[in-house]
Structure 1
Amino acid sequence: MSPKQQRGEATAEQLLDAALRVYAESGEQGLTVAALTRASGVSLGSLYHHFGSVDGLMNALLTRWLGRLLGELAGALEHTRTAHTGIRALVRAYLDFVQEHREAALLLHSSYADRQGMADGKRLRDAQEARLSPLAQWAERYVECGDLAPLPAALLESLILGPVIAVARRWLSGLDDVDLDQAAVLLPERIWRSVAA
């Protein structure tokens, strides 16, 4: 990689890191060009050169962190031997990610991300297809051997991750009535009952 390409990548990283900080501190209303250039120390021209717009920057940020989350989930499945332990590992990995990367989790579970997902869900899903494949293959394997209910993949995903996402959102909203460690212990068994064959 040439020095110019390295500088370009470093600039893009600065912008992505700054965008996450600005979002975490000020929310969606704080995502202005001025705030982003001030927080990153990067020029307005560089922002537009690398991402085209603030929305382009935020879409890249969502894609980055969604990819990291999916990577963590796929990694958690690698060390499991049954569908039941796989569900336990998925729940634990998801909730650990939310605790360890609170700023990114706030963005991934935000109304902004929901709107982007609704407006551009197919592109986001296609961009993450390689990371989604291990999850889909894992579920398919256990459907085929009779451990998981023979449901469409999207329904299985919703039954497994839906409750975890709801608990994460509640915790991220600042409500103090959710203990993520307790949820990581209690949720897998309830989820298992809903998807077991």
Structure 2
Amino acid sequence: MSPKQQRGEATVEQVLDAALGVYAASGEPGLTVSAVTKASGVSPGSLYHHFGSIDGLVTALTLRWLSRLLDRLSGALQRTRTARTGIRAVVRAYLDFLREHPDAARLVHSATADRYGMEHAPQIRAAQEARLSPIAGWIQARTAAGELAPLPGPLLESLLLGPVIGVARRWLSVGDVDLDEAARTLPDRIWRSVRP
């Protein structure tokens, strides 16, 4: 990689880090070109060069953290030996991600991220394929082995992650969910819905 490319990548990382800080402090309405350039120390021209617009920046920031969440879930699954322990590992990994990165999790679960996801689902799926394939492969292998109910992959994925995403949204928005209790309770409840 050339020095120019390295500087470009460093600038992108600097802007993304600053943008998350602005989002944490001011929410989505505070994510403006002025606020992000002030926090990051880069020029507006550099922001537009790398992201095209503030919407492009928000999209890049959301996809960055979605990638990190998916990497965490995939890594948790790969270290398990059974469907049941895999479910437990995914629930714990997801909830740990929330605790460790609440601002990023709030962005990933935001209405803006939902809107973008609905409008660009095929592109997001294609861009995240490297991260999603190990999860889909794990589900397929466990289904083929008879450890999970013989349901279509997307339905199993929804049953596995839907309750965790619901808890995440509730914790992020209302704050009345005990994540330790969720980590103890959800895996067995999810297991009952997907076991053969």
- TM bin, normalised by shorter chain, reads over 0.9
**Do the aligned partners of 1:91 and 1:188 also contact (CA within 8 Å) in 2?**
yes
Residues of 2 paired with 1:57 and 1:10: CA distance? 15
Identity %: 69
Per-residue CA deviations over 1:66-109 (Å, capped at 9, x if unaligned) read: 11111111110122110000000000000001110111101001
Q: Which runs of 4+ in 1 moved over 4 A?
A: none
Deviation at 1:51, TM superposition (A): 0.8
Q: How does 1:16-165 map to 2 (within 5 A)?
A: 16-165=16-165
Three-state SS of the structure 2 residue aligned to 1:73 is: helix
Residue 185 (1) aligns with residue 184 (2): yes
Residues of 2 paired with 1:166 and 1:46: CA distance? 37
**Do the aligned partners of 1:69 and 1:97 also contact (CA within 8 Å) in 2?**
yes
- Alignment RMSD, CA only? 0.9
Deviation at 1:140, TM superposition (A): 0.5
Structure 2 gaps, min length 5: none
Per-residue CA deviations over 1:36-88 (Å, capped at 9, x if unaligned) read: 11111110000011111111111111111111111111110122110000000
Residues of 2 paired with 1:25 and 1:121: CA distance? 29
Residues of 1 paired with 2:19 and 2:122: CA distance? 23
Per-residue CA deviations over 1:98-128 (Å, capped at 9, x if unaligned) read: 1101111010011111011011111111110
Query: In the comparison of the two structures, how many residue pairs are matched?
Result: 196
